[in-house]
Structure 1
Amino acid sequence: MDRHVLMRLLAGDDEASAAALAVLQSGATYVVWDRTVPAERHAGVYALRLRRMRLKGVEPLGLERAVELLRQHGRPVRGGMIESADRTWTFLLFLTEDGSTLVACAGVQRVVEKSPL
């Protein structure tokens, strides 16, 4: 998928899409896979991951909303990922089967472990 096409798809009004667009504009790497997966499968997997993250005190950006949107979508989606140039953020993308519309977006900030020294 062309970078400019993806930037156009991310031009939504939710916080996760806006953040993903900003990192994409600043040189982030990205991938959008051709394979599709049932949206319900993604919703189940990411609902579980959301619970686990919250137990660890991590609140991913827009993941709860993404899970709900995937449940509502009910059709297969194409997945994708954007990784910020500084590798501190990873954004998950879920697009319609033909890649023409963004279904959901969520971001996870990488936790940097402090060195004991």
Structure 2
Amino acid sequence: MRRIPDGELLGAQTTPDEEKLDRRHYRTRLRITQKRGQPTLALAATVDILSHAAEEPLCIGRIDAADTSWTFMLFLNAAATAVLACTGVARCESPAEPATDAK
């Protein structure tokens, strides 16, 4: 089971290859956020936890802050009875107006 961004619950279990892909995704996200200097909460610890739970099926939940400034990902055990890890990433703000070269 996996939670998707709009909160719907998908009933199908993901395959081990899909789970591994998700876990690599978060390692990549860690590198990108560090390179950009984007604020995160417990992302490095979450990547470490996910790498140690390599074969364990997971449920994934997403929570967007009411003011949309942060997105949090929850990683739960297969039965969704325990949180294994939680991470937050500050959402990038797009510039209010596009940059121009006009003088």
- 3-state DSSP of counterpart to 2:52: helix
The percent of aligned pairs where both chains have the same amino acid is: 30
1:72-83 equivalent positions in 2, closer than 5 A: 72-74=52-54, 75-83=56-64
1:49 to 14, 29, 47: 29
Instruction: Flag structure 2 segments of 5+ consecutive residues without an equivalent.
Output: 1-5, 99-103
Residue 52 to residue 83, structure 1, CA distance change in 2 (3 Å): same
1:106 is aligned to 2:102: no
TM-score (norm 1): 0.64
What is the count of residue pairs matched by the alignment?
A: 89
Q: Quote the RMSD (CA, aligned, Å).
A: 2.4
Deviation of 1:32 (Å): 7.0
Deviations 1:60-79 (A, max 9, x none): 11111001111112301011
The 8 Å contact of residues 82 and 90 in structure 1, kept in 2 or not, is answered as yes
The 8 Å contact of residues 36 and 79 in structure 1, kept in 2 or not, is answered as no
Residue 78 to residue 32, structure 1, CA distance change in 2 (3 Å): farther
Instruction: Flag structure 1 segments of 5+ consecutive residues without an equivalent.
Output: 1-29
Structure with more helix by fraction: 1
Aligned match of 1:5: none
